[in-house]
Amino acid sequence: MDDFKPADIYIDINGLRLHYLDWGGQGKQLMLLLHGFMGHAHVWDGFALEFRNHYHVISLDQRGHGESEWSEKLAYKIDDHFSDICGFAEALALDSIILIGHSMGGRNALFYAACFPERIERLVLVDSRLWDSEGSSNALMQILMHFPLQADTLEAVIESIRELYPLLPSEFVRHIARYGYRRMEDGKYVPRYDARMSTQCQSMGYSTENLGLFLNNLPLPTLIVRGEKSPFLSEKDARRIVDCLPRGILKEISHSTHMPAQENPDEFKAVVWNFLRSER
């Protein structure tokens, strides 16, 4: 991975201190990247390096994740994330945004884009479920089971992630573990995300809000990306999403599951490049 380091910036939004990575390129078109549940801004590092010379790339640690502050009131519903994105966009005067979100980040991106389509130029949703299904709920349960809430070593965390995502490059598994966990004074490793969200998710039966009704409100070009072997977003549901979009397109990334941008980065980046350069 390139040695270039983004700027670590903190900003107060809705009473929380949020962290984001700014990859430079001020003055260029804004590209905002949103990670998935239990993720962090650094999952986009390899992707951001590819696009930073052409766009002003920003990767946000959403509330309760990464270096951003946790909500004391356990406010992690889609409305809470929506309010954060609104405040973030207003504080930075963001407009004509290329908005890219993975999983939970894709859901948050869709909700924002449906409410403010005039602010978004293009939208990319990566392996994001927009309604409940038995397959996606089971996949989410497996994700929660494989990310330890406490580990004796970072290697134990890495092994858990590797078991869940065997197609991820070893270097990247270490990368997301390094930024996704912190070492406590007793030597134990714990997640940087608010682990109470896992309990909250379990108590809800791994269900999610139905965002399908918002798809018709998206007049802008929208790319739906699915990992070819994803247990999270079925091919049937992905095609159903695209059929509801006025200007939607579906692309499957080969040799990937729920993290196609990281499992097969070259193909994913090529798909995004083609989408951004298309006249659709």
Q: Per-residue b/e over 146-163, b at no fewer than 16 CB within 10 Å?
A: ebbeebeeeeebbbbbbe
186 — pLDDT class (breaks 50, 70, 90): very high
Whether the predicted pLDDT of 182 surpasses 90: yes
Mean pLDDT of 249-257: 98
Q: What is the pLDDT of residues 82-97, one digit of tens each?
A: 999 999 999 999 999 9
- As a whole number of angstroms, the distance between CA 39 and CA 101 comes to 12
What's the confidence (pLDDT) of residue 2?
Answer: 61
**Burial environment of residue 268 by CB neighbours within 10 A (0 to 12, 13 to 18, 19 or more):** buried
What's the confidence (pLDDT) of residue 93?
Answer: 95
DSSP category for residue 262: H
Whether the predicted pLDDT of 253 surpasses 60: yes
- As a whole number of angstroms, the distance between CA 36 and CA 105 comes to 5
Domains of the chain, each with CATH number or no CATH: 7-131+211-277 (3.40.50.1820)
211 — pLDDT class (breaks 50, 70, 90): very high
The mean predicted confidence, pLDDT, of the chain is 95
Residue type, 131: W
What's the confidence (pLDDT) of residue 1?
Answer: 53
224 — pLDDT class (breaks 50, 70, 90): very high
Contacts for 47 with CB less than 8 Å, ≥ 6 apart: 33, 261, 265, 268, 269
